[in-house]
Amino acid sequence: MLMPESPNLIFIFTDQQRADTLSCYGNRNIEAPNLNALSQRSFVFDNAYVSAPVCTPSRGTLLSGLWPHTHRAVENNIPLPSDVKTIVDLLPENYLKAYHGKWHLGDEVIRREGFDEWVSIEDQYRDYYSDEKYDKVLSDHCNFLKMNGFEPDKVSKGEKVFSRAYAATMVEEFTKAQFLASQAEQFIEKNKHRPFALYINIFEPHPPYDGPLNDLYDPADIPVPPTFLKNPPDNASEMHKLRAEASLGGQGFDPDRDVWGDTGDENLWRDIIARYWGNVTLVDRAVGRILNAVVQAGLQHNTIIVFTSEHGEQLGEFNIIQKTTFYESSIKVPMIVHVPWINNQKENEGNDSFSPIQRMSRIEGRYSHIDTVPTLLDLMGIEVPENLQGTSRVPVLNGEETLEKSDVFIDWPGDMSHLITEDMPDVKKLRMQPYRSIISREGWKLTLGPEQNEFYDLNEDPYEQNNLFDQVSEKSRIKDLTDRINQWQVDTGDTAVLPK
C-alpha cells in the first residue's frame, strides 16, 4: 500500500502508565483488548523511554521534539514558551489541528496558538494561569459534568470546580477518559473529509488511584516484583531514598485526599495497584471507542495512530509511589505506532476494519521520545526541521536500520539550585538540581547527579537492586558512559554541571 497524501495523525497518550500494563509488554492479567489488538497490527518498541520522569518536561518533548533543557519547561507548571514550536506548527495549512485532554504546559483551559480546536479536562492548575481573566474559564469536562446535574465539591479562585478525587468517583460515562472518547468520536466523524492531527491526552491512570472499575481486579492476585515494598539499596541515591521516605509518610498518594491509611500496610499498596489496573482498563475502553470511530469514518487506511504515555509509575517498587525517579518503572512506557502503509504491504484496502492479517512488528533496542516528532513528520511526508534534537526512525520502521546502536538519555528537569531555600524538604532540594542518565545500547545504565551516583547492569539486574557505581572493576565502563553523557550535553547544548 502506498503512503496516502496528507495522512491523518491520532496521537493518544496517557498520564503515568507503565510499559508493563499491556500484553505486548508481558502483562496478560489486565483487561485491555483494544490496546492489545492495536499492538498486534502495529510497531511495538520493546524499550521506549521518556525524556524526563515528570509531566511537564516529558510532554514538552513529545510536542516539540526538543529536550527539556532546550524547550525550557523544565518543571511541572512551567509553561512551554511561546517561541517553542510544537509539531502542529510544522504541519501544512490544510491540516485541522486539535488538542483534547490535559495540557500541563501553560494555561490549561486556553487554546494554544497553532491548534484549531481545544477540549480541556483539568481545573487543578488554576493557580498557574498567566492572566487572572482566565480564572473565570472552566474546563470543558467541568462544564459537561455541571450540565449533567453534578454539583462541584471544591472552590478554586472563586469558582466551583470538581476535585480529582470527586471526579474519579463518577460512573464510567462521566469519567475524563470516556468524555475524551466522546469528543474524539465527534471530531473524527465531523472532519473525516479533510486531513487532521488530533492529540488526545487521557488523564487516567494518574492518581487519585480511584475510578469506576476499582473492584475489577483482586488485590490478592496481583503479581509483584522483587523490589515491591523494599527500600532502595543502602548505596542508592539520596533522591531515591528520600522518595521512599516521603511515600511511606503518605506523600504522593493522592493530590486531593490527605488520609490514605497505613502506608506500611501491604494491603493498601495492593489495593492501589488494583485500582490503577482498573483505570488502565478504563483507558482501554476509551481507546476502543476512538479506534472504532476511525473505522466508522473509513479512515483506517490513511491514519497514523500512536499510543504512549508521558511517564511511568513506581506502584510500591522500592516503597515509592508515583514517578520522579530514575528507575525503569518511572521512565519506561508503552510505545505503539500503527502505520497502515508500512506495516503490512498485503493489506486489503477494501477491508472495512483494521486488517486482521496485519501483524505486530517488534522493534528491538532502545527508543527515546525525543525521536517521536521527527519520526511522525517523516511518516507524514513533511520535511524535518534541523533544530529538532531527535532522529527520524522511519528507516527503522522500514527495516532499513535498527536501534542496535542507540543510547537513550534522561534529562532531569535542570538546575534550579538558585531557587532552593533552607526550609524546603530535602527531597525537593535534590529535585531542583540536575541529574542526567544514560541507558546504553549495551544495557548499562548510569545516573549522574549532585550526590550518590547509580550504575546498573540491566541485563543481569533488570530490577536495579545492585548499584555497581563504587566497584573498582566498573571504573572504565563508567568513564565510557560518562563520556557519552558529556558528548550528548555538548551536542544538545546542555550546560548542566555534572560530576567528573
The pLDDT of residue 351 is: 55
Question: Does residue 478 lie within any of the structural domains?
Answer: no
* Spatial CB neighbours of 138, under 8 Å, sequence gap ≥ 6: 109, 123, 159, 161
The pLDDT of residue 425 is: 87
Question: Does residue 438 lie within any of the structural domains?
Answer: no
Q: Please give the tally of structural domains in the chain.
A: 1
CATH number where 290 lies = 3.40.720.10
Q: Which domain holds residue 12?
A: 8-406
Question: Does residue 489 lie within any of the structural domains?
Answer: no
Q: Quick count: other Cβ atoms within 10 Å of Cβ 121?
A: 26
C-alpha cell at 398: 522500514
Question: Does residue 368 lie within any of the structural domains?
Answer: yes
The pLDDT of residue 257 is: 57
Question: Does residue 477 lie within any of the structural domains?
Answer: no
Question: Does residue 451 lie within any of the structural domains?
Answer: no
Question: Does residue 469 lie within any of the structural domains?
Answer: no
The segments of the chain whose pLDDT lies below 70 read: 254-261, 343-358
Amino acid at 299: L
Whole-structure pTM value: 0.95
Question: Does residue 199 lie within any of the structural domains?
Answer: yes
